[in-house]
Amino acid sequence: MENQAQTGQDLSQLKSMFADYQKKQSQSTTRKSREDILAKYFVPRNSKEVFRILPPKPGKKHIEEAFFHVLTTNAAGGKKKHGTVIYCPAHNDPKVPKLGADGKPVVDDQGAPLLVPAPCPACAEYKRLIKQQDPSIKGIKKENMTDEQKKIKAKNDEIWNEARKWQAKKFYIVRGIDKGSEKDGVKFWRFKHNYKNQGTLDKLLPILEDYMTSQQADFSDPVNGTDLTIIMTDAEFNNHVYKQISAITARGKSPLHGDPTVMRAWLDDDVSWRDVFKPKAAPNITPYEYLEMCVAGTTPYWEDTDQNNKHWVFPGRPDLEEKANTRTMNLDSNDEEFEQASDLEEQQTTPRVTINNITETKVGEFEDDASDIGKEAIKETTSTQVVEESNDDLDDNYDDSDSDNEPDGDGSDYDDLPF
Ligand SMILES: [Zn+2]
């Protein structure tokens, strides 16, 4: 028995090796274009959409949680682009060893390295601002405050309004098939958490639970699961029309696809949200540096306003700008994919490799479950934080439909893609 189990495991490893090589083959022959990646985003936009949630891969959930910053970046024509969704390393990457002032890993009593969230300049900025709040009024109800304390509160609220722009936001990601565009294969539906419980998740969960209860089946089951109909409606906010989910319904038990070959291909596809919602970078800079530039307001952008003079712009960094615009020799190469020996790949997911020259002071402290007053402020302000979050230029992969305060863009703007 043991031998059999052993063999089974070995084969599954081999199987994944073949799959891995196959994946790499297809990657090297056809570099994923912007369009290819976009085809992996499921963004409900038509008045009626049909989506089928796929069963999760082993160890994964039906609905995954991930964190992204929603920031303002620079765009062509000297414009600002609001609502750019950017991968947060602190909340999405494996933890890394904490470095002491000497640059060496800090260890605990047992000599094991202390682990902290991966450095993220945007999270650090959030933390830095939050720390400026005056904690003296913590726990005091507004109606019991003196005039002086109310002034402090007003100031704290002001700080909070600035700080929360830098806070990583929780998103949900569902893996599935866009039945209106089956040729695109597996897609990812990403939508933002809504603190008012009025988001996409809040519309979706009751439907899924009801299906499970009434059908005694997993909604994502390839045989007994169900397609979902998503009805979209136009809503208006700040003179912008945007798409909002009006209803989600389960269509009833149906196979994932009539053709077993197609069904198998979808079920076997290993693409994950991490392949699609990648960290954002630009030529010759790392995602970390990109986030630093977000905080500094100097994000680089592709200037394509003039058809005859398309080029990269790096505000305040002529060196990087020149470098980015002179890589004529190898325009087709993919700068983002720096390949390394296969025996290194595993190590890449461990912290040591990624942290090298980032010191504690550079990063700032990051407490996982900080009980700072920022959180108090979340509770206090969620019911009123309506207008500030409005964006008139939201990108499409950013599902704003789950909030009545985040109008959609016109659907043509995909500038937050990692290219
Ligand atoms: Zn972050």
Find the 99 Cα to ligand 1 centroid distance in Å.
18
Q: What is the pLDDT of residue 163?
A: 97
Distance 52 CA to ligand 1 centre (A): 31
Measured in angstroms, how far is the CA atom of residue 49 from the centroid of ligand 1? Answer: 32
How many whole angstroms from 312 Cα to the centroid of ligand 1? 25
More confidently predicted of 22 and 152: 152
Give distance in angstroms: CA of 15 to centre of ligand 1: 35
CA of 112 to the centre of ligand 1 (A): 25
- The per-residue pLDDT for range 226-272, each reduced to its tens digit, is 999 999 999 888 888 888 899 999 999 999 999 999 999 999 999 99
Of 355, 403, 351, give the one whose Cα is nearest residue 382.
403
Ion ligand 1: residues, CB within 5 A, are 88, 90, 120, 122-123, 168
Written as one letter, the residue type at 225 is G
Question: Which residue, 136, 403, 379, is CA-closest to 243?
Answer: 403
- Ligand 1 centroid–CA 323 distance in Å is 27
At residue 237, the pLDDT reads 80
**Average pLDDT over every residue of 198-215:** 96
Q: From residue 45, how far is each of 49, 115, 234 by CA, in Å?
A: 8, 42, 10
User: Given a cut of 50, is residue 363 above it in pLDDT?
Assistant: no
Q: Which of 69, 193, 64, 66 is nearest to 120 (CA)?
A: 69
Model confidence at 3: pLDDT above 80:
no
Q: How far is CA 289 from CA 98, 129, 283, 284, 416, in A?
A: 19, 20, 11, 10, 16
Query: Which amino acid is residue 271, in one-letter code?
Result: V
Ligand 1: centre distance to CA 171 (Å): 13
| Confidence grade of residue 328 (pLDDT, cut at 50, 70, 90) | low
Distance 365 CA to ligand 1 centre (A): 12
37 pLDDT tier (thresholds 50, 70, 90):
confident
Distance of alpha carbon 247 from alpha carbon 256, whole angstroms: 22
69 C-alpha to center of ligand 1: Å? Answer: 6
At 378 the pLDDT is 33
Q: How far apart are CA 247 and CA 65, in angstroms?
A: 22
Q: To the nearest whole number, what is the mean pLDDT of the chain?
A: 79
Helices (H), 141-286: 147-163, 200-215, 260-268, 273-276
Q: How sure is the predictor about 374, in pLDDT bands with cuts at 50, 70 and 90? A: very low
Question: CA-to-CA distance for 212 and 307, rounded, in angstroms?
Answer: 54
Burial class (CB in 10 A: 0-12, 13-18, 19+), 263: middle
Q: How far is CA 228 from the centre of its chain?
A: 23
pLDDT given for residue 346 in this prediction: 43
Q: Which range in 268-282, 338-352, 360-374 is most confidently predicted, on average pLDDT? A: 268-282
What's the CA gap between 41 and 397, in Å, rounded? 6
How far is it, in rounded angstroms, from Cα 205 to Cα 99?
41
Kindly give the distance from the C-alpha atom of residue 399 to the centroid of ligand 1, in angstroms, as a whole number: 19
CA distances from 163 to 25, 115, 122, 338, 381 (A): 44, 25, 10, 34, 13
Distance 361 CA to ligand 1 centre (A): 16
CA 158 – CA 412 distance, rounded (Å):
34
Closest by Cα among 75, 395, 67, 417 to 242: 395
- CA–centroid distance, residue 274 to ligand 1 (Å): 16
Residue corresponding to tokens 């419980």: 197
Residue 10 per-residue DSSP state? H
CB 184 within 8 A of CB 176: no
The rounded distance, in Å, linking the Cα atoms of 294 and 292 is: 5
Q: What is the pLDDT of residue 407?
A: 30
What's the distance, Cα to Cα, between the start and end of the chain in Å?
Answer: 50
Q: What is the pLDDT of residues 147-201, one digit of tens each?
A: 999 999 999 999 999 999 999 999 999 999 999 999 999 999 999 999 999 899 9
Token pair in block for residue 121: 């300049």
**Inter-CA distances, 282 with 18, 186, 314, Å:** 31, 26, 10
Cβ atoms of residues 254 and 226 within 8 Å: yes
For residue 267, report the distance from its CA to the centre of ligand 1, in Å.
Answer: 32
**Span 351-380, mean pLDDT?**
33
Please report the pLDDT score of residue 32 as a whole number.
Answer: 64
Which residues are within 8 A (CB) of 221 and not within 5 positions of it... i.e. 6 or more apart? 55
Tokens of 69: 């910053």
Which pLDDT value is given to residue 116? 94
Q: Are strands 169-178 and 63-75 parallel, antiparallel or unpaired?
A: antiparallel
- For residue 240, the CA-to-ligand 1 centroid distance in Å is 29
Q: How far is the CA of 378 from the centre of ligand 1 (A)?
A: 17
According to the model, what pLDDT value does residue 265 have? 97
To which residue do tokens 């500094």 refer?
A: 296
Query: Residues for the chain: how many in total?
Result: 419
| Residues 54-65, mean pLDDT to the nearest whole number | 96
381-399 pLDDT, tens per residue?
333 222 223 332 333 333 3
State mean pLDDT over 115-129: 96
Q: Is 237 exposed, middle or buried (CB count within 10 Å of its CB: 0-12, 13-18, 19+)? A: buried
pLDDT at 93 exceeding the cut of 70: yes
If pLDDT is split at 50, 70 and 90, which confidence band does 40 have? Answer: very high
Rounded Cα gap, residues 174 and 188, in angstroms: 6
pLDDT score at 385: 28
For ligand 1, the distance from its centroid to the CA atom of residue 22, given in whole angstroms, is 33
Cα angle 87, 406, 168 (rounded to 5 degrees) comes to: 25
Taking the centre of ligand 1 as the mean of its atom positions, its distance from the CA of residue 56, in whole angstroms, is: 26
**Residue 357: is its pLDDT beyond 50?**
no
pLDDT band at 336 (very low <50, low <70, confident <90, very high): very low
